[in-house]
């Protein structure tokens, strides 16, 4: 691989990582659940593109498999399941939030800065192709966690979990050029099963409580 290829390659991978980060911000700033699911699908698409790019530049072929799996599961199947759940439960919007949107955005900005601080010593040691992406990966994990914490509807919390998983995948690709294929397959199946369970789970909650507001779970305490 020529030096120029590495430079252009790492710039492109940086570009994909930033696009991923932008979609994260899009999810935080959104109230419409269908749009959140769409943004997640777009995010997974960028992730797959990035994985394919890394596979091309480093000639590690099993990352191609991971990229294809990402497209099949996270771009096609999971968003379909989630959209079906959203339509069936007729929850289109997230109206009440624990943290309002501008504050949420500020917190996410702070989380990105925090992620960069934490990865700074690591980043200096690494000479890998995609070292800036590690910091962005950590940021996406933190933002995914924040989505889970700050949202009320179950669907958005699941999306937060899936965003976290995206961030993990990005981090693994950035730091170690992908995990062993077995581990990746295992994770993908976990995610798929989680999606299916959520589909059933949300229906169950809806049938029992007539709403998917997770704050109602607090009623179980007394």
Partner 1 sequence: MNWEGWLLTFGQIVLVLGFSPFLVGLIKKVKAHLQCRQGASMFQPYADLTKLFRKEVVYSETASWIFTVTPYILFSSTLAASLLIPTIFTPLPLNFAGNIVALVYLLALGTFFLILAGMDAGSAFGGMGSSREALIASLTEPALLLSLFAVAMTSGSANLSTIVYKTALLQDIVLDPPPHLMALVALWMVTAAETGRVPVDNPATHLELTMIHEAMILEYSGRYLALVEWAAGMKLMIFLSLVANLFAPWGIATNVSPGALGMGLVVYLGKIMGLAVIIAFLESMLAKLRLFRVTEFLGVAFILSVLAVVFFYILRVE
Partner 2 sequence: MSLLSYFLVVTEHEKADVRFAGMFYLIMAHLGTAFILITFLIFYQTAGSFSFEDFRMQGHALPEGMKSLVFWAALIGFGAKAGIVPLYVWLPYAHPAAPSHVSALMSGVMIKTAIYGLFRVYWDFLPANIHENLPWWFGFTILVVGTVSALLGVMYALMEHDLKSLLAFHSVENIGIILMGLGAGMLFHSYGMDSLAVLGVIASLYHTLNHATFKALLFMGAGSLLYATHTRNMEEYGGLLKLMPWTGLFFLIGAVSISGLPPTNGFVSEWLVFQSLFLSFKEPSIFVELMLPIAAALLAFTGALALACFAKAFAISFLAQPRSNHARHAREVPLTMRAGMGMLAIMCVVLGLTPMVVIPLLDDVTFPLLDTTIRWKVLELGGWALAPVSREFASLSTPLLFLLLSGLIGLALILCWVIGGKLRARSYITWGCGLKANSRMEYTATGFVQPIKRVFSSLYQPTVKLEANLLEESRYFAKQRKFDFYIEPIFLKYLYNPVVEFFSTLAERFRMIQSGSLSLYLGYIFLTLILLLLFVI
Nearer to partner 2, 114 or 217 (CB): 114
SS3 call for 220: helix
Residues 138-157 touching partner 1, rule: CB under 8 A, are none
First to last CA, the chain: 64
Shortest reach from residue 210's CB to partner 2, in Å = 32
Contacts of partner 1 in 11-50 (CB under 8 A): 11, 14-15, 17-19, 22, 25, 29
Question: Of the listed pieces 86-94, 104-112, 173-181, 203-211, which binds partner 1 according to CB under 8 A?
Answer: 104-112
* The only residue of 68, 106, 149, 183 in contact with partner 1, by rule CB under 8 A: 106
Residue 163 contact among partner 1, partner 2, none, beta carbon within 5 to 8 Å by kind: none
Please provide residue 153's backbone torsions phi and psi, each rounded to the nearest 5 degrees: -75, 145
User: Are the CB atoms for 105 and 29 separated by under 8 Å?
Assistant: yes
| Chain Cα centroid distance, residue 7 | 26
H-state helical runs in the chain: 3-29, 33-58, 62-69, 78-89, 101-125, 131-150, 154-176, 181-209
Selected binder of partner 1 within 38, 132, 165, 184 (CB under 8 A): 132
C-alpha distances in angstroms, 66 versus 53, 54, 71, 169, 186? Answer: 12, 11, 9, 9, 11
Nearer of residues 120 and 210 to partner 2, judged by Cβ: 120
Taking CB within 5 to 8 Å according to partner kind, which of partner 2, partner 1, none is near residue 84?
A: none
Q: Which residues contact partner 1 (rule: CB under 8 A)?
A: 11, 14-15, 17-19, 22, 25, 29, 101-102, 105-106, 108-109, 112-113, 116, 120, 123-124, 132, 135
């Amino acid at each position: 691989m020529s030096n120029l290829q590495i430079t252009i390659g790492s710039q492109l991978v940086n570009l994909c990582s930033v696009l991923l980060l932008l979609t994260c911000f899009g999810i935080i700033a959104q109230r419409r659940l269908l749009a959140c699911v769409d943004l997640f699908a777009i995010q997974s698409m960028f992730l797959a593109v990035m994985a394919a790019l890394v596979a091309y530049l480093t000639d590690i072929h099993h990352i191609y498999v991971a990229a294809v799996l990402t497209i099949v599961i996270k771009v096609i199947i999971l968003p379909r399941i989630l959209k079906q759940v959203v339509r069936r439960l007729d929850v289109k919007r997230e109206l009440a939030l624990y943290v309002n949107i501008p504050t949420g955005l500020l917190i996410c900005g702070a989380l990105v800065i925090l992620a960069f601080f934490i990865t700074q010593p690591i980043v200096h040691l690494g000479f890998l192709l995609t070292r800036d992406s590690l910091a962005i990966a950590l940021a996406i994990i933190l933002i995914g966690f924040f989505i889970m914490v700050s949202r009320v509807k179950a669907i958005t919390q699941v999306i937060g979990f899936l965003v976290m998983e995206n961030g993990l995948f990005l981090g693994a690709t950035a730091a170690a050029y992908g995990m062993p294929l077995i581990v990746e397959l295992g994770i993908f199946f976990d995610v798929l099963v989680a999606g299916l369970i959520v589909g059933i789970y949300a229906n169950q909650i809806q049938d029992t409580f007539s709403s998917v507001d997770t704050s109602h779970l607090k009623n179980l305490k007394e």
